[in-house]
Structure 1
């Protein structure tokens, strides 16, 4: 058993004990329940050795301290009591560390998250490295949980309650300097002297002598605290709309500890942890975490990817600029942009410069790092430098003839092995590759705007794309920090195909007299980050509506939109946020005002807003159209699995994460319930709501999309 130990004790000649954390056969250290006895044994040795002057906890991994607790432990809990017992075990170990009679220091390099930060908080002092990989945070809320090993109690006492609530409620991760500023760490040092600095802190003794900032001291009084909790509760409610129970419990548990003392606080923390672990919201959020972790390991095909050394981008617009930026900054790959004029190139270069400059201002990057990333991006108005590009990403206008011409030019000027990846949102990849000399090297790579923020890409092979091309394209997407899903080559692919009926239904509600803000509020309350009409403004009304005729032609009348209204809006030169004219009013720059719908829309469309439907009825109509289409996509093989469909929904269009994605949500409702709702809506509103064959069959046979057995097996395999 000892050979698989994750904790090693070594006593230095100066009588400082060093406990090294190094989980065998894992790249990242994570805390597992079975480590309990190992830690207890080490703590016993430390207590028994009366000559010791102090203890340092340090990681044996080169680039991480502890990335958190192993989430599989929660997946294996059947009841709230079992999950609560896990939390109590964690709390007890942290309490034992904190109770050691000699100074204990955490020496942190790399991610120190969740249970890792709770261990560091249990130490008497903390020192971290200035590495850009060093991040400290308690991200449990993102899994529908709260910190369960004392984090909700120790952090507020260390940093003050408002800083702690801000960190825990948002799952916010602090960089070294920020951590020092709020008092989370006592010192920030270069990696090379981390252990020496930690030993020096041990010699200084236990107390850090730091007083809380004035703001935190004011908020520590009963009046300040009552005001803070009232404000935070209100803000949290506005943000979560009650969809994330963990947020409310975090506030309650932190408050309990501060008002009724630590013992009650720990009690409340463990109980809340156990109950939250059993909520459908936490199950859904953990499902997304496992699914995206699995996707990161896949290559998209059975072939080996080709090595990637250099990338080309065609088009210096918003998308081209964004693709070049993620290729250089995240992928660390040289990227060359080609545009028809110098203006396009300088525009694309400025796009990257502005994003990097912002990071320098926020001290997330050094100026030298910004310069070296910028040096990876170059541009020209011809194909010079394209002869050794391994992949060229095309981001020009949505025009088939133009894209086919780009394929021929790349085949002429690039290397024989160069892949041509088209960032198209609607054109079939097979058509783009129709005249290609090497069609097996043509593929779709659909990014979402803005490229630097949106995590998803759709990888779209056509019938003739080779397995090697798929694997290489997936590899590029991962290097760019994206989560890729491989989808079939059909109109709208997956994300736009399930998004279009949802947006169309919102437009129909508008034409029936529901007001703009009533529709958007309904979907935000349901859990989407923005409403469908605001989304159309953000994407660009001209872009958003261009895809509808393509889909209508491919799939028929269920994709038809209220064309007259859309035409009237476009004719009035309304493109959305980008030209300051859309469904909403965009005040002059610098003026802060609440987002207001533009009443001129009602005049243009001849609609009188009367709001006959409830928010829940609007949300039901829009979401049901999306769910029905998602089931069709799976049935037709547009997505490879419910997992890919859920990731596409959550990462591509902000489908509410706490519902786990379209397929998990349908499982939660039950196919029978989904079909019954669609049939009722069909009777009310027409054939476009008719449930698809797959759902009818599933309702009859009581089937689910996600078999929990499969999911458990996948997780077990991952563990081995």
Structure 2
């Protein structure tokens, strides 16, 4: 895991434990032993910590957080103490990323040198934790209170130039073949100084008004952190760095880490962390399925979604060709793409020359024949099966052999779309979320005949355009929109029974949803949902109350924000309650024989969230999603489910499957015929709740068997 090389009195401890030099127990033991041995070697004048890999170190082994091995001796705080109290000066030579515990061992060193492109950060807060091996104590002493607070509370990394400017590193050394020689020169100079050792125990945090600064910082983050426990715990620990000796601050920090490690929010953060690493492992897709080469992309439709998709690809360096039906629509689309990059240049996000280069890669056409050389063609047209089948029939005639034909459909049957093609193995769904250039999620929809190398290509391309690809199967709405259907259905039905849009949305936003369901429908467009329902009217005909309020809004032309009226009235983007909605709901309730009553917050939350969870169980039973974490990633990254709850499936495990089952059965009985229609528990939910097995444990067991 490590090797030791001696050069001119300097000992290089080189980490070499692919893939990321994780600081698991064996690595900690090896490092601790090496430092003790080198301390006793009189020939060694200085020690360098470096890496044989393209990164310095990825930090702690997060698996140990779950197993408890994180506390096995030497734990990370103990290793940092060994480094800090070494008799010899220790220099951390950072090339590539140094994240979390990796930066903490570097902070325990006497000196740090880095390459200009090195990336350093303490991302623990994103896992609901605080840095637990000295990060909150040593970083403020070394880099200053303000830089340290920003890094710890954001979890975002910094690069070499900034690290040098704030004192986090002592020198920047070019990342070339002479890097090791430069490090040797630095270490040699340090070892010849009169008193080369530097300990954070001897450094105090200097700031003209640390209390005032931290109070102001609390106020600044109050809105974004109101549901979170880690930010305040991090600030308390940073305060300790300002007020306490290092040893006392470290003890307080370690206690804070242990406290946070056992919180639902940290479990949620770690669940999503592992889910992101699992989601690209797709059954039936192996390393032998090499991705196809993609250099040119075509997008059919230059509307809002098509433009967003094109921008995402252009930003990643791809050439993009728009196909539109009219010259005016094509010109408008290209002009809006140009304006997007010009605005980005004006805001300093990229240079004017870079913006112009990107825009020059966007072209347009009205002819399918001009797509003949595209490697990937993405249809982003109107959500109509007839329209999409016509497009794919044309693509079958004009696209070159081996081109990947993708649909951005959000609800329609991909296999039915692929059926018009003579090459269904090349057809895949790429469901982007609006705005497509901003939203991180990408549902990769696997058709019944989609080739494994096409899926591998989609995942590879998704990463290049900085998307999170989650592969799902074919059904109505796939995973995200299928789970949305019962959530939205109940949010709408509650209006007939006596709730108001604001009451429903307030409950959901208090729960942590980024936006209430009625506000979200207004933002997306009431007409969007209405068109989807028109496509599947026969499937929902058994419930005459189904989305009755939304259908009436559509009839009245109240299409949401774009018309200034939907479930709310809009003053700019500010939503205002509208008494007319109560009247509409009351009239419809009378028409459908629905009794109106007072509805409390608990019922609103349970009626919206638990059917959503139940649908997730059905999706998992059917194999539409491979694992619970896939559902959670989709809902956290695409639908605003609070990440600190870990997604709906993880949340179900946290509150107890028996509780979810009991409440589903409660509404099944209490809501009469409506409850019987919509609140039947999924068989998998009943099975696991009855047996006392969590959903996570059930899928872990399945994974071990396979």
What TM bracket, shorter-length normalisation? 0.7 to 0.9
Offset from partner CA, 1:368-389 (integer Å, 9 cap, x none): 6656655554333324552232
Offset from partner CA, 1:305-327 (integer Å, 9 cap, x none): 45123332211222222222333
Mapping 1:530-545, distance limit 5 Å: 530-545=515-530
Does the CA contact (< 8 Å) of 1:549 and 1:560 recur in 2?
Answer: no
- The offset of 1:115, in angstroms, is 0.9
> Residue 208 of structure 2 aligns to a residue in which SS?
helix
- The offset of 1:662, in angstroms, is 2.5
CA–CA distance in structure 2, aligned partners of residues 600 and 184 of structure 1: 57
Matched, 1:625 2:616: no
- The offset of 1:176, in angstroms, is 3.6
Does the CA contact (< 8 Å) of 1:583 and 1:597 recur in 2?
Answer: no
The alpha-carbon distance between structure 1 residues 557 and 476, as it changes in their structure 2 partners (threshold 3 A), is farther
- The offset of 1:424, in angstroms, is 0.7
- Give the aligned partner of residue 35 of structure 2: 43
Out of 250, 258, 268, the residue aligned to residue 284 of structure 1 is 268
- The offset of 1:114, in angstroms, is 0.5
- Give the aligned partner of residue 416 of structure 1: 401
Offset from partner CA, 1:123-156 (integer Å, 9 cap, x none): 334343333xx43211112222221111011122
Does the CA contact (< 8 Å) of 1:542 and 1:570 recur in 2?
Answer: no
CA–CA distance in structure 1, aligned partners of residues 346 and 622 of structure 2: 48
CA–CA distance in structure 2, aligned partners of residues 136 and 353 of structure 1: 34
Does the CA contact (< 8 Å) of 1:84 and 1:274 recur in 2?
Answer: no
The alpha-carbon distance between structure 1 residues 328 and 119, as it changes in their structure 2 partners (threshold 3 A), is farther
CA–CA distance in structure 1, aligned partners of residues 50 and 110 of structure 2: 14
Out of 52, 57, 64, the residue aligned to residue 66 of structure 1 is 57
The alpha-carbon distance between structure 1 residues 197 and 469, as it changes in their structure 2 partners (threshold 3 A), is closer
Mapping 1:293-442, distance limit 5 Å: 293-298=277-282, 301=285, 304-310=289-295, 311-330=297-316, 332-342=317-327, 344-345=329-330, 348-349=333-334, 373-374=358-359, 376-383=361-368, 385-442=370-427
- Give the aligned partner of residue 211 of structure 1: none
- The offset of 1:360, in angstroms, is 6.1
Provide TM-score, normalisation by structure 1. Answer: 0.83
Does the CA contact (< 8 Å) of 1:84 and 1:270 recur in 2?
Answer: no
- The offset of 1:394, in angstroms, is 0.6
- The offset of 1:450, in angstroms, is 1.8
The alpha-carbon distance between structure 1 residues 164 and 616, as it changes in their structure 2 partners (threshold 3 A), is farther
- Give the aligned partner of residue 441 of structure 2: 456
- The offset of 1:477, in angstroms, is 3.1
CA–CA distance in structure 2, aligned partners of residues 603 and 515 of structure 1: 7
> Residue 217 of structure 1 aligns to a residue in which SS?
coil
Provide TM-score, normalisation by structure 2. Answer: 0.85
Figure out how many residues of one structure are paired with residues of the other and give that number.
680
The alpha-carbon distance between structure 1 residues 545 and 29, as it changes in their structure 2 partners (threshold 3 A), is farther
- Give the aligned partner of residue 212 of structure 1: none
Does the CA contact (< 8 Å) of 2:498 and 2:599 recur in 1?
Answer: no
Out of 13, 25, 34, the residue aligned to residue 19 of structure 1 is 13
- Give the aligned partner of residue 145 of structure 1: 129
- Give the aligned partner of residue 429 of structure 2: 444
CA–CA distance in structure 2, aligned partners of residues 69 and 557 of structure 1: 54
- Give the aligned partner of residue 159 of structure 1: 143
CA–CA distance in structure 2, aligned partners of residues 197 and 513 of structure 1: 73
Out of 93, 97, 102, the residue aligned to residue 116 of structure 1 is 102
- Give the aligned partner of residue 526 of structure 1: 511
> Residue 92 of structure 2 aligns to a residue in which SS?
strand
The alpha-carbon distance between structure 1 residues 60 and 669, as it changes in their structure 2 partners (threshold 3 A), is same
- The offset of 1:653, in angstroms, is 1.8
What runs of 5+ residues in structure 1 fail to find an aligned partner?
209-214
Does the CA contact (< 8 Å) of 1:491 and 1:551 recur in 2?
Answer: no
The alpha-carbon distance between structure 1 residues 567 and 40, as it changes in their structure 2 partners (threshold 3 A), is same
CA–CA distance in structure 1, aligned partners of residues 399 and 48 of structure 2: 55
- The offset of 1:422, in angstroms, is 0.7
CA–CA distance in structure 2, aligned partners of residues 614 and 603 of structure 1: 17
- The offset of 1:499, in angstroms, is 0.9
Offset from partner CA, 1:586-616 (integer Å, 9 cap, x none): 656xxxx9x44254764774679x9954544
Does the CA contact (< 8 Å) of 1:320 and 1:395 recur in 2?
Answer: yes
- The offset of 1:34, in angstroms, is 1.2
- The offset of 1:407, in angstroms, is 0.9
Does the CA contact (< 8 Å) of 1:642 and 1:663 recur in 2?
Answer: yes
Offset from partner CA, 1:76-130 (integer Å, 9 cap, x none): 21xxxx64556x7212222332334565443323222101111222233434333
Out of 532, 536, 549, the residue aligned to residue 547 of structure 1 is 532
- The offset of 1:170, in angstroms, is 2.5
Does the CA contact (< 8 Å) of 2:553 and 2:559 recur in 1?
Answer: no
- Give the aligned partner of residue 695 of structure 1: 685
Matched, 1:647 2:638: no
Out of 563, 568, 571, the residue aligned to residue 556 of structure 2 is 571
Does 282-291 or 348-357 show the bigger shift?
348-357
The alpha-carbon distance between structure 1 residues 486 and 320, as it changes in their structure 2 partners (threshold 3 A), is same
CA–CA distance in structure 1, aligned partners of residues 33 and 514 of structure 2: 48
Matched, 1:704 2:699: no
CA–CA distance in structure 2, aligned partners of residues 218 and 544 of structure 1: 56
Out of 665, 668, 672, the residue aligned to residue 679 of structure 1 is 665
- The offset of 1:288, in angstroms, is 1.9
Does the CA contact (< 8 Å) of 1:305 and 1:475 recur in 2?
Answer: no
RMSD: 3.7
> Residue 237 of structure 2 aligns to a residue in which SS?
helix
CA–CA distance in structure 2, aligned partners of residues 570 and 177 of structure 1: 58
- Give the aligned partner of residue 201 of structure 2: none
The alpha-carbon distance between structure 1 residues 677 and 216, as it changes in their structure 2 partners (threshold 3 A), is farther
Does the CA contact (< 8 Å) of 1:322 and 1:351 recur in 2?
Answer: no
CA–CA distance in structure 2, aligned partners of residues 369 and 207 of structure 1: 46
CA–CA distance in structure 2, aligned partners of residues 32 and 412 of structure 1: 55
